[in-house]
Amino acid sequence: MDTAPSLEPRRTSPAGAWHRSAWLWWSLRIVMTLWFAQIALQVAFAAGFVSGSTSWFSMHSLNGALLVLPLMVGFPVALLNAIVARGAWWPLVVLPALFFLVTMQMTLGYTRIVGVHIVGGVLVFALALITCIELWRRRHVPRPARRPRTLQSAQGDLR
């Protein structure tokens, strides 16, 4: 019995065919992976600044201001994935929470509350990593469509 993982891509539907809306899930994966790479760069810029080189501070500040852009792109993709593709709903909760945390991080950084800013940065890094892992670990499996309500079933609810 061969227990080695297969190199073939996993199919996203029970029938073995790719689902037509899987591109939304892949788009969300790519946007959030690029965002995580940007978070990793932010850590590198912060490390350069904390180690004594003040030239890294402007890069850390600029990159910090741009960290919200991938989240702003990712939310509509997550919304389309949840509504149109009937995909996972959890990114609709996670992305606004990450947006809030990044905005708080920017505020803490610009107001020079460094102790809380560093701890918050570790939290944002950890949550970004967990989000990327979950996006790549899970597959796009559309939720079943809800059965439309008929007039009879709606009248039955009123009795």
pLDDT band at 129 (very low <50, low <70, confident <90, very high): very high
Return the pLDDT at 140. Answer: 78
Q: Tell if the pTM clears 0.85, that is, is over it.
A: no
Measured torsion, CA atoms of residues 41, 47, 52, 57, in degrees rounded to the nearest 10: 40
Mean pLDDT, the chain, whole residue set:
85
As a whole number of angstroms, the distance between CA 68 and CA 129 comes to 16
As a whole number of angstroms, the distance between CA 114 and CA 134 comes to 30
- pLDDT one-digit tens code per residue, 10-48: 544 454 455 678 899 999 999 999 999 999 999 999 999
For the cut 80, the answer to whether the pLDDT of residue 103 exceeds it is yes
Return the pLDDT at 128. Answer: 97
Q: Tell me how crowded residue 117 is: count the other CB atoms within 10 A of its CB.
A: 19
Domain layout of the chain by residue ranges: 22-143
DSSP string, 60-77: HHHHHHHTHHHHHHHHHH
